[in-house]
Structure 1
């Protein structure tokens, strides 16, 4: 064999050996992804997922929910009791890296306290580890006491996790890796966790493709823990590059849809091609036609899990439409939320429908 031929053979052999490793890295650890069969078996073992996105009424952002200075387990327990009475069996909650970084063990204790309240009220938690959303002026979280609401501004003090300056700075990734692995490892076999939503709306808040390196790494870090619960990254817009990463990194397919029933059906038909269970982790926008009266029956009929936004209206002012600013006309109908701060239903017919569908479908 000529030296040149031997060189070619060696190069081809090396490529064959490195190929699988490169594929794992390129697909963010997708070779550890659950098979469709395993995902469907997990889904069949669950109640029909009928839940909500949750932030306590006292919290203007998720920093305030989890911070040691403001975490209020009594208020949370009251609201979770209300969620249980409504028929909700799952709550999706964003975690805050900044609070964890300040005191990892304290944060994990508070997360366990929240999970104990969930278990008490027959609710499972869907933690979201990162979130790129920004609705106000701040792009990085600050721990401690948070601002008060600015009347008329939707979620004006929302705090992303970990914050945009860390998302775009890869030198911070070792810190974020310890956070992802620390949280998931602590609760990796906890039956109170329904599934892990690794990253809420990556690329939002003006970040664009700058979020993708952290997203890929987050999926890989979570896979390395190998939790007993499935992993997911929600599809939320039409970015093909983002959606490819999200879908390839998900055991079950989660998605956001705030459109009317036709828009929802169209998105569902596209996502069904993935051949995996579907959970709509954000919906209900009354002005846009995303309504309990039109959607809950469809989710039930199609056996698609659903988690509306949100439970009790409070400091986030998410009854206002996106982009609402002080001085704008008051909305005629609420965008989100089921209850006023004093636990009165915004629409009693909606509550009746939720109770009807959740209790009927999940009756053992």
Structure 2
């Protein structure tokens, strides 16, 4: 019997699709783009100006899920608080996403990201969007989030992916769809500054309340997924840089890097890092990382009792042309005005010295001196006279 040619075409397409599905990334994109050259990285960075902003979630959200879920997506608070960032000259913000949000409602999640980016653009803020995060609660769950524990630092923040997904390679296709789906949607969007692939991937939360809940061999699961995540991100061919920030350890020479740190640096278009220590440590780490010859952004800093302050850090950053993103912005449900040790030590009232954050919920600065400094660094003070 003569075969219908359309049947044969359909059969071939079906077989190709099945092969793509078995091989993962081939189903969602072509060849990953290369890591930027140093020249490409500097050409991008030179267009940005001095980058300064907070790690941002609205004061009404305890974590990433509460920020983005449809029922609690608080555009009024986001608009108001990003307006405060603009008022002191900030031009970027580091903002966390979550894989479960894409699984729950990919269309709605992407739409809310688009709305957020419109609000940010209105205030001249270009966000860096964070894909995965290894810090705090390893058991995230969709739906109504718990209320904050009184006086406890970041008592509801959740990891992405959680430990259940991290150790289950059958969930890789779902995570792949999330990474490529989000980045591809905004790959050529000038409202997005950059993509932070994974926050502190080698953080095992030891010393926190969650340390005992972590997988005993967590990093063995993180390493292969981190490599895949960078590849997936490049499959989406973003016009923005892809990066992940080294955050602890000795980066002074190549031989001192761990396997995860090496992946983070080798796969990053621009170099990002964290520093919650004083100015000497900040400058030392900047000097360490200069050997890579790429632009740098410190994507977490500012812990006042540790000696990491705006006054001590920003002049060094300007000197070395390093972008700066402090942790926290408006005091709220994350309660990061309290220090890390609030998980073990009982606090009953607002600490005299805030750990993180810049503004109170009514927009009053914690420290007018700090705000004036930020305005002077950004040029906002002169523009408002």
TM-score, normalised to structure 1, is 0.88
Q: Deviation of residue 362 (structure 1)?
A: 11
Match of 1:348 among 342, 346, 368: 368
- For 1:32 and 1:192, the matched residues in 2 are separated by 22
* 2:241 pairs with 1:230: yes
- Report the CA distance between 1:99 and its aligned residue: 1.3
Judging changes above 3 Å, is the alpha-carbon distance between structure 1 residues 30 and 288 closer, same or farther for their aligned structure 2 residues?
A: farther
1:261-340 to structure 2, matched below 5 A, reads 261-325=279-343, 327-328=346-347, 331-340=351-360
1:43-73 CA-partner distances (Å, limit 9, x unpaired): 1111210111001100011110001111111
Q: In the TM superposition, what whole-angstrom CA distance separates every residue of 1:55-100 from its partner, at most 9, and x where no partner exists?
A: 1100011110001111111111011101100111000001011111
Work out the CA distance in 2 between the residues paired with 1:362 and 1:128. 33
| Separation (CA, whole Å) in 2 of partners of 1:284 and 1:155 | 15
Conservation of the 8 A alpha-carbon contact between 1:48 and 1:362: no
Q: C-alpha displacement at 1:149, in angstroms?
A: 0.9
Distance 1:140 1:130, change over 3 A: same
Partner residue of 2:12? none
Distance 1:309 1:132, change over 3 A: same
| Cα distance in 1 between the residues matched to 2:306 and 2:348 | 17
Alpha-carbon RMSD across the aligned residues, in angstroms, is 1.8
Unaligned runs of 5+ residues in structure 2 are 1-30, 206-213, 250-256
In structure 1, the partner of 2:194 is: 195
SS in 1 for 2:246: coil
1:253–1:277 CA contact under 8 A, matched in 2: yes
Shift of 1:162: 2.1
Query: C-alpha deviations, 1:120-145, integer Å up to 9, x for none?
Result: 000001000000101xxx42211121
Aligned residue in 1 for 2:149: 150
Query: Is contact 1:30-1:249 (8 Å) kept?
Result: no
What displacement does 1:329 show? Answer: 6.5
The question of whether the paired residues in 2 share the 8 Å contact of 1:203 and 1:210 is answered with no
Which residue, 98, 101, 125 being the options, matches 1:99? 101
Bigger CA drift: 176-185 or 197-206?
197-206
CA contact (8 A) 1:320 1:334 kept: yes
| 1:203 CA drift (Å) | 2.3
Which of 98-107 and 318-327 deviates more?
Answer: 318-327
Q: Is the 8 A contact 1:30 1:248 kept in 2?
A: no
Whether the aligned pair in 1 keeps the contact of 2:88 and 2:380 (CA below 8 Å) is no
Distance 1:170 1:152 in 2: 37
Aligned: 1:215 with 2:200: no
1:241 and 2:259 are equivalent in the alignment: yes
Q: Is the 8 A contact 1:48 1:361 kept in 2?
A: no
| Distance (Å, rounded) in 2 between the aligned partners of 1:274 and 1:362 | 35
Deviations 1:311-351 (A, max 9, x none): 10100100111131362465331110001122110000000
CA distance in 1, matches of 2:40, 2:127: 20
Give the whole-Å Cα distance in 1 for the aligned partners of 2:381 and 2:296: 17
Aligned-pair distance for 1:286?
Answer: 0.3
**How far has the Cα of 1:152 moved from its partner?**
2.0
SS at match of 1:69: helix
Contact 1:281/1:306 (8 A) holds in 2: yes
SS at match of 2:130: strand
Superimposed CA distance per residue, residues 271-326 of structure 1 (whole angstroms, 9 cap, x where no aligned partner): 00111000000000100000111111111121110111111010010011113136
Say if 1:95 and 1:128, in contact at 8 Å, map to a contact too.
yes
Q: Which runs of 5+ in 1 are unaligned?
A: 1-28
Any conservation in 2 of the 1:203–1:209 contact (CA below 8 Å)? no
Are 1:57 and 2:59 matched, yes or no? Answer: yes
CA 1:43–1:361: 2 relative to 1, 3 Å: farther
In structure 2, C-alpha distance between the alignment counterparts of 1:90 and 1:69, rounded to whole Å: 26
Contact 2:201 2:222 survives alignment (8 Å): yes
